[in-house]
Amino acid sequence: METMNIALPSPMKAYVQEQVTEGGYSSASEYIRKLIRDEQERKGRQELERKLLEALESGPATPWTSEDLAELKRRVKERHPDVQDES
């Protein structure tokens, strides 16, 4: 695991220590890692929501055809030649 040193003003350091104590974290590092994981998850959800809205606004859905499925399989094989077709 890599290390990173950060400088915090005294009130922020006290806040982190308080969160460690109150939240049952074993260290300030554990608390900070949790904050970062939560932020990564939040951004991932935002991206998913953005893509879902984009899809909804792109117009009505159309039924899949056998040609659509064949094209999808072709693109997957192109990107992942080691994947076996199980159909």
Is residue 87 a part of any domain in this protein? Answer: no
Is residue 43 a part of any domain in this protein? Answer: yes
Is residue 36 a part of any domain in this protein? Answer: yes
Is residue 1 a part of any domain in this protein? Answer: no
Is residue 86 a part of any domain in this protein? Answer: no
Residue 46 has pLDDT above 90, yes or no: yes
Tell me: the pLDDT tens digits for 18-35? 999 999 999 999 999 999
Is residue 58 a part of any domain in this protein? Answer: yes
Tell me: the pLDDT tens digits for 2-15? 999 999 999 999 99
Would you tell me how many other CB atoms lie within 10 Å of the CB of residue 31? Answer: 19
> What confidence score (pLDDT) does residue 87 get?
61
Q: How many domains would you assign to the chain? A: 1
Tell me: the pLDDT tens digits for 58-80? 999 889 999 999 999 999 999 99
How far is residue 78's CA from residue 75's CA, in Å, rounded to a whole number? 5
Q: Which domain holds residue 17?
A: 10-79
Task: Tell me how far CA of residue 77 lies from CA of 28, 66, 73, 83, 87, in angstroms.
Answer: 46, 17, 6, 7, 13
Is residue 84 a part of any domain in this protein? Answer: no
